[in-house]
Chains A and B, each alone.
Chain A
Amino acid sequence: MKKSKLLLGMAALAVTGVVLVAADHLDAPSSGGTTADIADFFAFEPETGSANTTFVVDLQSNVLPDLAYGTFDEDILTEINIDTDGDLVEDLVIQAIPRDGRMYFFYGEAADLGLNSQVLVNAPLGDVAISAETATVETTDSGARIFAGPRQDPFFFDFFQFNAVINPDPESAPLGFLPPSEAENTFAGANTMSIVVEMPNAMLGTTTALNAFNIPVYNTWVTTNRKQ
């Protein structure tokens, strides 16, 4: 039984030569390398004791030459979903979609649960010019801060060594990852297309969801959605 499991495992690891780029960069055949590819997602308190929560969504990447990079796609709706009661179903949603050089943000109660969405046109949060090199930011009437444009990719990972580590060939990286003196951050020097929104917690409301340490948390996730 163990042997058959192992054979199955070896077959599974002999993946079809798809180059995987984490955190989520180029993670799957259908979305990888397209303008809809989510590269990374962060959610944090911007400073200790802050009454705000910041969300950073990175789309696309120039870490490899064949990746899409450089332009927000007007057919792609980015959604930050927020579950505030622990059922893993979104209660609130922040939407971002570009039009003619500006990124438009919408925010409200999630209306379309599941895999299809429409823009919450009756719940605008604000809009901001898509930045070039230097950041242009806006503070909305409701006190949120918004940004969209190219940024440094803050992800760090020795991704090529990771591919060697998971390669089942016994000769491939038998000692695993490299010591710090030899390891290289694959994402050093890379850029990505960032959407950043900072919301007053008062706008997000209270949450009854708990993490594994019994601390109240928002359960959040980001999706990209293509116009049909």
Chain B
Amino acid sequence: MRLYNLKYIFLSGMLLFAVASCNNDDNGMDPEQIAMPTCDDGIMNGDETGVDCGGTCAPCDDGEAMAPDFSGTYAQVDHMGRPGINTVLSADMEGMPSVKDAFNVTVPSQMVAEFQAGFEARLEQYHDVYAIKLGLDPADVNYQNNILNLDATTLTTVLAADVLQVAPDEVTTYYNGTVGLTGRALTDDVIDISLILLFGGETGDRFSGQDTDNDGMADLPRLTSDGVSLTATIDAEFPYVSNPQ
């Protein structure tokens, strides 16, 4: 709408200039005619809101296709790369500014500098919580290098740069036991993969509900799988995600 108006204002300006030029040539045109807008003079003038329409003329036909207005500035409010990063590894504390909000308005190139240390502390806190639940000294239950042999600092450095990597020329898998970080398919069990990387230790099953005294009951917590799998329908054809239910 605005664009159209601007265009017509420009056009009418050009016409007036042309008419004024004629006057300068003194070809006998009555200057009064220029000053009297009519509803059929082919320019937007008077109180018209379009060319020969609107105002005291007939209403403009708004049915014409007008380019939608996309003007303005849009300021970032949310961010996501890999699943669950901010949810699981940012810790908000009562009375303190929200770390989660700050994360969502930080550009990826700054994320490691600003959030890696907090993520690493949070990872260790989760281990402390389970030490207590197991009746152990938190000093004795710490993050152990994971199946990718990443230490806590390296792992949280990778995760703090919160981007989802996708390989144009490789099969997509978040992690399949051999290779990973080539994207995220709709069917990938990203929660179990994340839990294995955070709590699985070097074997991947460090805390997976083991029965250590053979009494038929789990003695270690189950932290490497949430136990659920995909329930939504995935289609073979674009857009792949299925009709709402």
Which A positions have Cβ atoms within 8 angstroms of B? 2, 5-6, 8-16, 18, 20-24, 27-31, 34, 36-38, 40-46, 48, 53-54, 56, 76-77, 83, 87-89, 97, 99-100, 104, 113-119, 121, 133-135, 137, 145, 147, 150-158, 161-162, 165-166, 168, 170, 172-180, 182-185, 187-189, 191, 194, 196, 198, 201, 204, 207, 209, 211-213, 215-228
Contact = CB atoms under 8 A, between A and B. Distances in A.
Nearest to B118: A12
Closest 7 CB pairs of A and B: A183-B227, A176-B221, A23-B83, A9-B125, A28-B100, A225-B74, A119-B70
B228 A184 contact: yes
A62 B207 CA distance: 33
A30 B104 contact: yes
Interface of B: 68-81, 83-84, 86-88, 90-94, 98, 100-101, 103-105, 107-109, 111, 121-122, 124-126, 128-130, 132-134, 138-139, 148, 158, 161-172, 179-187, 189-191, 195, 207, 209, 218, 221-223, 225-234, 238-245
Given A44-B183, A191-B244, A212-B181, A178 B78 contact: no
A11 B80 contact: no
B87 to A, nearest CB: 4
A227 B72 contact: yes
A220 B184 CA distance: 11
Given A116-B73, A188-B231, A30 B166 contact: no
A80 to B, nearest CB: 10
Contacts of A23: 80, 83-84, 87, 190
A44 B69 CA distance: 32
Contact of B129 (A13, A134, A185): A13
Nearest to A154: B232
Given A16-B92, A99-B70, A183-B228, 8 more contacts: A15-B91, A30-B104, A56-B240, A88-B163, A177-B221, A212-B180, A226-B77, A228-B74
A152 B190 contact: no
B225 A177 contact: yes
B127 to A, nearest CB: 9
Nearest to A211: B181
Contacts of A56: 186, 239-241
Contact of A196 (B78, B168, B238): B238
A48 B171 contact: yes
A166 B222 contact: no
B91 A12 contact: yes
Contacts of B91: 12-13, 15
14 contacts: A5-B128, A6-B128, A12-B91, A23-B87, A24-B83, A42-B183, A45-B171, A54-B238, A154-B241, A178-B222, A211-B182, A216-B167, A217-B167, A228-B73
Q: Which of A6, A87, A134, A145 has the most CB of B within 10 A?
A: A6
